[in-house]
């Protein structure tokens, strides 16, 4: 199951502390160190803005993951491809959490370093360069994490569409399991298309027998789904209803009723016929 992205409580670098440091240094007149402190303050403010944006993106991803979790829980079977994608996202989120924790520690170290520089009223050139490099590294890592999360968000949206399609397909399959696939046509047409076999076992004195010998193509436009217990209109007079075992018995498995004009209402009553193929042989 998809885990929520744990939003780390980012500590914002307090610009006020850095401003105080600049004020203390400025008492001795403008200097290169003062200018570098002001530049560092600006860079940290930019980092804080990126962190705020990232927190908002993480919250949006959490909402999307929660929605997907509720949809996945409503299905009995989850597509394996979707499960692997969600697991891969969980691994990336765990990596991002570790990265965010490291960046938080580095941010705290930067704050402590600025406090030390304020107390000592000095700015070491090499320390400032190291701080700037660390800030650049943080910004780069945060931007990469932001891009990765947005990419995964788009991927989740695509998987959500595939999940909706799978749910529709499951609904159609369930309907097919509780319905009869009916193909109505004349005897000659059914024979020509390889669906029907007929004959008289002991000559012309006996009634003709029928048998279904080929499965009905679900994509054939003449195929109809007849739910058990619901009437299906057939055009023309009916000679027989046939499945792969032979002629379907009227009364035990289905009933008929005259409809409007030349139509006949056929209602299947035997639940064992659900998911099976039945031919309706109509007169010419």
List pLDDT tens digits, range 54-83: 777 777 778 877 777 777 666 655 567 777
Q: Which 8-state DSSP code applies to residue 250?
A: B
pLDDT at position 10 is 43
Q: What is the mean pLDDT of residues 252-281?
A: 91
Q: State the maximum Cα–Cα separation within the chain, in Å, rounded to a whole number.
A: 125
* Most confident region among 15-19, 96-100, 228-232 by mean pLDDT: 228-232
Sign of CA dihedral 128, 134, 136, 142: negative
Rg, Å, the chain Cα set: 37
Q: What is the DSSP string of 33-51?
A: HHHHHHHHHHHHHHHHHHH
Report residue 109's pLDDT band, with 50, 70 and 90 as the boundaries: confident
Partners of 234 in the β-ladder: 264
Least confident window among 4-13, 51-60, 137-146: 4-13
pLDDT at position 6 is 57
Tokens, residue 68: 């997907």
Tokens, residue 186: 């004349």
Judge whether residue 22 has pLDDT over 60: no
Q: What is the DSSP string of 181-238?
A: EEEEEEHHHHHHTT-EEEE-TT-TTS--EEEE-SPPPTT-TTEEEEETTSEEEEES-E
pLDDT at position 120 is 74
Report residue 228's pLDDT band, with 50, 70 and 90 as the boundaries: very high
Judge whether residue 215 has pLDDT over 60: yes
pLDDT at position 16 is 56
Q: What percent of the chain has pLDDT over 90?
A: 26
Q: What is the mean pLDDT of residues 172-188?
A: 84
Q: Are 258 and 265 contacting, i.e. CB atoms less than 8 angstroms apart? A: yes
Q: What is the mean pLDDT of residues 206-234?
A: 90
Mean predicted lDDT score pLDDT of the chain: 79
Greater pLDDT, 250 or 50: 250
Phi and psi at 216, nearest 5°, equal: -75, 135
Sign of CA dihedral 39, 44, 49, 50: positive
List pLDDT tens digits, range 81-96: 777 777 887 888 788 7
pLDDT at position 218 is 85
């Amino acid at each position: 199951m998809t885990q929520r992205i744990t939003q780390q409580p980012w500590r914002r670098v307090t610009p006020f502390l850095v401003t105080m440091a600049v004020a203390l240094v400025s008492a001795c007149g403008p200097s290169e160190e003062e200018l570098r402190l002001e530049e560092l303050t600006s860079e940290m403010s930019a980092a804080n803005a990126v962190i705020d944006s990232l927190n908002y993106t993480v919250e949006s991803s959490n909402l999307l993951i929660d929605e997907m979790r509720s949809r996945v829980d409503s299905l009995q079977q989850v597509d394996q491809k979707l499960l692997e994608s969600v697991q891969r996202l969980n691994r990336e989120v765990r990596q991002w959490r570790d990265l965010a924790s490291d960046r938080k520690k580095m941010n705290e170290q930067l704050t402590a370093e600025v406090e030390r520089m304020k107390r000592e009223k000095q700015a070491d050139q090499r320390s400032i360069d190291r701080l700037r490099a660390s800030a650049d590294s943080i910004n780069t890592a945060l931007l990469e994490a932001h891009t990765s999360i947005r990419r995964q968000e788009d991927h989740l949206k695509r998987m959500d569409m595939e999940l909706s399609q799978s749910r529709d397909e499951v609904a159609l399959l369930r309907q097919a399991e509780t319905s009869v696939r009916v193909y109505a046509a004349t005897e000659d047409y059914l024979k020509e298309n390889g669906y029907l076999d007929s004959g008289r076992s002991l000559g012309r004195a006996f009634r003709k027998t029928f048998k279904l010998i080929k499965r009905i193509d679900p994509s054939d436009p003449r195929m109809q789904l007849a739910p058990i217990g619901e009437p299906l209109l057939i055009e023309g007079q009916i000679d027989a209803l046939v499945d792969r075992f032979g002629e379907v018995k009227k009364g035990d498995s289905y009933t008929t009723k005259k409809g409007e004009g030349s139509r006949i209402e056929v209602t299947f009553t035997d639940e064992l016929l659900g998911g099976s193929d039945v031919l309706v042989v109509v007169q010419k």
